[in-house]
Structure 1
Amino acid sequence: MKISLNELSMPVAPLGPESPLPPLAGPGLVTIPVDLSAADPQMARNLAYGRPATLLPYTVQDGYSRNLVDTRVRTAVVENEILRAEFLLDYGGRMWSLRHKPSGRELLHRNPILQPANLALRNAWFAGGVEWNLGTTGHTPMTCAPLHAARVMRPDGVPMLRLWEFERMRELVYQLDIYAPAGSPVLVVHVSITNPNEHEVPIYWWSNIAVPSRDRTRVLAPASEAWHLASDGILRRVPAPEGYETEFEHAADYFYDIVSPFDERPWIAAVDESGAGLVQTSTSRLRGRKLFVWGKHTGGQRWQEWLSPPGHSYLEIQAGLARTQLEHLPMPAGERWTWLETYGLLETTPAVAHGEYELACAHIEESLSPMPDFDLAWVDLPPTERLHRGSGWGALEHRFRSAAGGGITPKLLIENDAPTSFSMSIPTPHMPGTPFDDDTLGRDQVSWLTLLEAGTMPAPAPRLAPSSYQVSPRWRQLLEQASPQNWFTLLHLGVARWHAADRDAAVEAWHQSHGASPNPWALRNLAFAGDDQVERLRTAHAMVPGVRAIAVETIQAMLAAGKPAEALGFIDRLVLNLRSNGRIRLLECRAAIDAGRLDRAARIVDTGIVVDDLREGEDALDDLWFRYHTQRGSTPVPQLPCLYDFRTGAPQ
């Protein structure tokens, strides 16, 4: 077995700059069940537990386009004589390829391009490989971010690839130890999640596995029933699907209800017409399994081609800690959770793979390779050789906890007219396996390190955008105590207060920030809070006319206020690169329809609108098409073109 570094040359759409605006709204990424009558009490509790108020401290990754550029992407490779696995080090450690060497078969959907699209918690996401999702329901905030990597040598002489990072929303440390011992037919992934806090944390994990989808691809899991949440918001317990994508007209996901004795070693497999494919197994902690398909409808097929080139369709099989992806589990303070996952080739005959469902599952169960051993002491083995650098957030957190342990005196905060003391005695756990060294600290951490060490942050020029945010109670406390205060510390204090649902105090801080030095960032946040939206956003835009996010929010506010003509005039004065942006062209067309300027709307509709960051489930394009033709009095209304059909549910 060996571990090596490599580079892939492939077409990539660069991520571009992140939005400077704090995401003050709730995630709003999934259908929230409105009817839980089918759920048992434990599932009902998990469904109601752990939903974050915002995505903070993360920012939104929306600076990409659909222009692909040949790029060299850094990877790490783990291989033995049977398997070769490759991981994208700058993209969340995504396992991009798993090739079975003797047969030459690629077991994963190895997308020939890397094209971000708006499907993740932070917006940018791309299809393909195996994604490691931690945080909250949705594609992880780290999916388009670098992480730390190292080679670790076990006492028995077997090397492991270790990937690790600090997850900022839940303040967890996670690591993957990946290896394929000599002669092993499976790749082994040992996952560890540590809660280094003195309080319980909601936890979410799903390993998201993309596999090729062909006419006879079948997904199998050892369950006769499944949970299904339809677009009507009703959670239903239904018979497990037969596993063929052709069953589904529209996008659908099914969570298999795997029960004893199969829950001791849950598994899920995807096989092709020959009966061969990928099988993923795990130890019992990773109990959930899921099937996701885009469906046969035009909208689902449009999404397939939006994410992968024609001829490269995929579906997803997934494995998670809970029974469904809508749940969070309570992880007690100071605990570490671990489990093993294996990935390898499954070979059966066509008659078995495509025969009676229960018999096919029984055959797969009997053919599974034994689960390998793992010594928990290996989790804390220090890295032998560093291979890649992730973010500096873990190092900053380590510095914070070390300083707090030195006896920082807490200050009383007033919340809802009641004094609350936040303890600053925060443990710095000894985790030698996942070092967060000071040399990883970078630009995004500089202001926060200064706040920690000097008690305040220097105020940049008001038109310079903030690059990062911190919102935990501990960082909020430092912001409350900052001395001297300036527009920058007050801006961040408002964001931390807003995240904590202390909305009036947040608005007060933003007013103080703008009063200390007029700045577009406080104005935008005040507008979001509902205070004179159009005028505040118009003024903010005038200060930073090149910031697309503020321009978009300004137009949206004008349309919401019933001012489409004003929105058109605003759009006409935008700088050229914003004027041609797909999202802004979409809003321009809507404004033209609302203002009765159908000639202007026609020019946009007829030349085509491409919204680079169109959200999964967003109905803006089909709604625009039908509104435009209704206003024109078209009889009958023309069929929605494939270009605009991203509908994932039944057309209304």
Structure 2
Amino acid sequence: MTTNAGPTVRRTVLTLPAAPLGPENPLPALRPLDPPRTVDDDTRRAMPRDMARRIGYEPLRTPLPTRVLDGYGRERRATGFDAIVIENDRLRATVLPGLGGRVHSLHHKPAGRELLHRNPVFQPAAFALNGAWFSGGIEWNIGATGHTALTCAPLHAAVVPAPDGGAMVRLWEWERLRDLPFQVDLWLPDGSDFLYAAVRIRNPHERPAPVYWWTNMAVPEDRRILVPADEAWHHGYTHALRRVTVPRQDGEDRTYPQNSAHSGDWFYEVPDGSRRWIAALDADGEGFVQTSTDPLRGRKLFVWGHGRGGRHWQEWLGGPAGGPGYAEIQAGLARTQLEHLRLEAGEELSWLEAYGALSADPRAVHGADWGAALAETGARLEERLPRADVDAAYRAWRSHAADTEPGPLLATGSGWGALEVLRGRFTLPGTPFPESTLGAPQEPWRDLLRTGVLPAPAPGEPPGPSLVAPHWRDMLETAPADPYTEYHLGVAQWHAGDRAQAVRSWERGLASAAARWPLLRCLAVADREGGHTERAADRYAEAFDDLCASSGTDGTPTLVALAREALDALLAAGRPGAAREVWTRLPDAVRERGAYRLLEARLLVAEGDLPGARAVFDAGFEVPDLREGARTLGELWAAVSDEPLPHRYDFRMRPA
């Protein structure tokens, strides 16, 4: 489709070697996948007051109400992804609306070069707040500290007139971790070397909400990262947050990603009043730059490190082994990613970003004088895209385009936004959530809204997704107290931090439940969180027995997920015999999966069969959803061998 003779928007299909995303994990995510990031009291006292306050504000308790995505594997096949191409005579941007609106590629035509790290594959890995994440391009991280739960989710997309009269692509969705709608408007002005992205987050509720945003841009790592700052907050493998100088730290110039042995984050202190930008320039002074209006204050560099674990992670995410690595440069609403901002009831946040090509004198860019390098880069940016032009483009967008209703959909997101608009009767100009997008996951909750009763699933079917926002929790508390409603009420109470009441709700439901395993599993999680390891093991074993009795052992996603948790709990309780009973009831196809091969090795170690556990390693396995920074493989290997950890199992991102 074309809206004028200049910039164009069209739909296409991008084909990549891709691992299928697989089914959602049907068990509610009652625990975060990673422990929350914290800072000690001494560090907090040394921070600016607003930074310290934001670090303590509303950290995420769980990934609820989203479901964990951990059903993917490592076998890739050619797969077509719906894509939207935005193009002018200078740039071509390729956007994947079905994968969180990721900008997969930004191609600069005059130079004939890709400005971003464009991942040649789609390979999920367990880095997002709810599991599956993939690397490369430009991603929109909204919700809470980490990679967004929308990483692999579809967004709504449509064409809207841009402020200059051209074509603009609007992406929008309802972010469920914080219960907030947002939009990203992308356009290429005629003849421009920069892709514009105008972002808006709205709080339509009658209560304040925590807000988090970091735009993550993957760039080749053989660059120098330039940002107008002389200091940064460094978050490294020790998990401490400390203030350091830029560019040199501990004797090395850390603005070159390849100079760092281990993974780390640098959150730069851009002085108030300075233009906000970050650039990644190669040996010839060529590369990529991002700039924005002032509300997007933070800038960051993340590196994987050149150690074996860091290199392995890069191969794991995109490969091939020995291929070029990448780093991440980011821009966010706060100084660091440990912070969340407060968005008042009825208020909104908005800003404009621009991404494009930049050329600067390589002698200055790579010279020893940091100030001169910044001055040269900043001057060239000002020539290519004046700060005043960015501010003017934002004002024009906010006045003439932000609320424009979109045309026909190019892509359709979830129905959760429609459910929230239906409940709250919200008016959100520019981002419609029509009732026609409601689907099967939302239907029971629409019934609760209309009738006050939450309908139970068909016999033998697992519980559907839970909703946990205060307004849904209130409705569950007044609904008829059947076992299914008590189950969902307990999930909502747990998410709200009222764990004792959650346990009481689950226990009430258990007293008359036909299918006991959903409630037993929730109680088992509560026991593990409370340090009651033996009781947790008992409840997991009973839950597994109940599921097998009602549904069989045919390898359904529910059986796969529950067995994995039960095996882990039984081994943690020192009960390898009971764990072996669960193991023997699993289908062969499940036992052959990488995560279960790892559990088998743990089970053999617990049984005292170290040669058998070593044989599992020697046969080879891959755990697709291994978490970033996980040390499990190394620790288990040390129990079965005195030899160095083989490369295929080495994902350690910090010193041994």
Q: Tell me which amino acid in the other structure corresponds to 1:490.
A: E
Contact 2:237 2:263 (8 Å CA) reproduced: no
**Structure 2 counterpart of 1:178, from 183, 186, 192:** 186
Is 2:452 aligned against 1:455? yes
Local SS of the residue matching 2:127 = strand
Shift of residue 227, structure 1, vs aligned partner: 0.4
Q: Who is 1:129 aligned against?
A: 137
1:647 to 631, 649, 652: 652
Residues of 1 paired with 2:209 and 2:144: CA distance?
11
**1:553 counterpart = 2:565:** yes
- 2:377 corresponds to which of 364, 377, 380: 364
2:621 to 609, 619, 623: 609
The structural deviation recorded for 1:30 is 4.9
Residue pair 1:382, 1:433 contacting (<8 A) in 2 also: yes
Residue 386 to residue 638, structure 1, CA distance change in 2 (3 Å) = same
Measured against aligned partners, the alpha-carbon deviations of 1:112-171 in whole angstroms (never above 9, x if no partner) come to 100000111011000100010000000001111000001002475222110000111211
2:414 corresponds to: 391
CA–CA separation in structure 2 for the residues paired with 1:240 and 1:443: 52
1:5-154 matches, cutoff 5 A: 5-26=11-32, 28-34=34-40, 35-154=43-162
Contact 2:164 2:189 in 1 (8 A): no
Q: TM-score, normalised by structure 2?
A: 0.91
Aligned twin of 1:290: 300
**CA apart distance, 1:203:** 0.8
Q: Given the superposition, is the C-alpha separation of residues 513 and 297 from structure 1 closer, same or farther in structure 2, using an over 3 Å criterion?
A: same
Distance in 2 between residues matched to 1:5 and 1:512, nearest whole Å: 52
- The whole-number CA distance in structure 1 between the counterparts of 2:340 and 2:71 is 30
1:570 CA drift (Å):
2.5
User: Does the aligned pair in 2 maintain the 1:225–1:256 contact within 8 Å?
Assistant: yes
Q: Deviations over 1:544-593 (max 9, x none)?
A: 44321110111111111111233234313311122112112112211211
Query: Which amino acid is 2:447 matched to?
Result: T
1-side partners of 2:276 and 2:36: how far apart?
A: 25
* 1:223 aligned partner, one-letter code: A
**Identity within the alignment, %:** 47
Q: Matched residues in 1 for 2:282 and 2:608: separation?
A: 53
User: Aligned partner of 1:495: which letter?
Assistant: V
SS in 2 for 1:602: helix
1:2 aligned onto 2:33: no
**Offset, 1:29:** 4.5
Q: Is 1:539 aligned to residue 542 of structure 2?
A: yes
- Tell me which of 158, 163, 169 is aligned to 2:171: 163
2:137 and 2:163 map into 1 onto residues whose CA distance is 30
Task: Look up the equivalent residue of 2:9 and give its one-letter code.
Answer: I
Q: Work out whether residues 62 and 613 of structure 1, in 8 Å CA contact, stay in contact via their aligned partners in 2.
A: yes
Give a deviation string over 1:225-252, Cα, whole Å, max 9, x none. Answer: 1101233343211012331122201111
| Long gaps (5+) in structure 2 | 1-6, 248-252
| 1:261 to 1:477, Cα distance in 2 relative to 1, 3 A | closer
1:255 maps to which of 259, 267, 285? 267
SS at match of 2:442: helix
Match of 2:243 among 231, 237, 241: 237
Taking the aligned partners of 1:327 and 1:539, their CA distance within structure 2 comes to 41
Tell me which residue corresponds to 1:406: none
CA distance in 2: counterparts of 1:209 and 1:467, whole angstroms: 35
SS of structure 2 residue aligned to 1:471 = coil
Letter in 2 for 1:647: R
Q: Residues 220-369 of structure 1: matches in 2 within 5 Å?
A: 220-241=226-247, 242=253, 243-262=255-274, 265-310=275-320, 311-355=323-367, 356-368=369-381, 369=385
Which residue in the other structure is 1:595 paired with? 607
Flag the 1:464–1:78 CA change in 2: closer, same or farther, 3 A: same
CA distance in 2, matches of 1:226, 1:319: 14
Q: 2:476 aligns with which of 479, 485, 488?
A: 479
The alignment partner of 1:516 has SS state of coil
Q: Please identify, of 591-600 and 94-103, the stretch whose mean Cα deviation from structure 2 is larger.
A: 591-600
Contact 1:36 1:234 in 2 (8 A): no
State the shift of 1:2 in Å.
0.9
Does residue 512 (structure 1) correspond to residue 508 (structure 2)? The answer is yes
What does residue 407 of structure 1 align with?
none
Which is worse superposed, 493-502 or 155-164? 155-164
**Which runs of 4 or more aligned residues in structure 1 lie more than 4 Å from their structure 2 counterparts after TM superposition?**
none
Q: Is the 8 A contact 2:12 2:85 kept in 1?
A: yes
Report whether the alignment pairs 1:218 with 2:224. Answer: yes
CA distance, structure 1, for counterparts of residue 362 and residue 380 of structure 2: 15
Output the TM-score relative to the length of structure 1.
0.92
In structure 1, how many angstroms separate the alpha carbons of the residues matched to 2:116 and 2:363? Answer: 23
Displacement, 1:460?
1.8
Cα distance between partner residues in 2 of 1:285 and 1:538:
51
- Change beyond 3 A, Cα 1:549–1:155: closer
5+ long unaligned stretches in structure 1: 403-427, 630-636
Give, as a single letter, the amino acid of the residue that structure 1 aligns with 2:597: R
Tell me, yes or no, if the aligned pair for 2:277 and 2:290 is still in contact at 8 Å: yes
For 1:641 and 1:156, locate their aligned partners in 2 and report how far apart those are by CA, in whole Å.
Answer: 56
Moved more, 376-385 or 103-112: 376-385
How far 1:280 sits from its partner (Å)? Answer: 0.2
Instruction: Tell me which residue corresponds to 1:495.
Output: 491
Cα displacement (A) at 1:218: 1.0
Name the CA distance, whole Å, in 1 between partners of 2:59 and 2:309: 29
Task: Give the SS at the match of 1:36.
Answer: helix
SS of residue in 2 equivalent to 1:5: strand
Kept in 2, the 8 Å contact 1:95–1:131? The answer is: yes
Could you tell me which residue of structure 2 aligns to residue 418 of structure 1? Answer: none
Structure 1 residues 350-398: Cα deviation after superposition (integer angstroms, max 9, x where no partner)? 2222113221111111111123323213110101232111010110001
Contact 1:459 1:486 in 2 (8 A): no
Question: How far apart are residue 307 of structure 1 and its match?
Answer: 0.4
Are 2:36 and 2:59, in contact at CA under 8 Å, matched by a contact in 1? no
Letter in 1 for 2:342: P
Q: CA deviation at 1:27?
A: 5.1
Contact 1:208 1:319 in 2 (8 A): yes
Whole-angstrom distance in 1 between the partners of 2:196 and 2:164: 16
Instruction: For 1:529 and 1:501, locate their aligned partners in 2 and report how far apart those are by CA, in whole Å.
Output: 12
Q: Residues of 1 paired with 2:459 and 2:363: CA distance? A: 68
- Distance (whole Å) between structure 1 residues aligned to residue 141 and residue 64 of structure 2: 17
- 1:73-99 CA-to-partner distances (Å, cap 9, x unmatched) read 001111111011011111100000000
Contact 1:463/1:519 (CA < 8 Å) preserved in 2? Answer: no
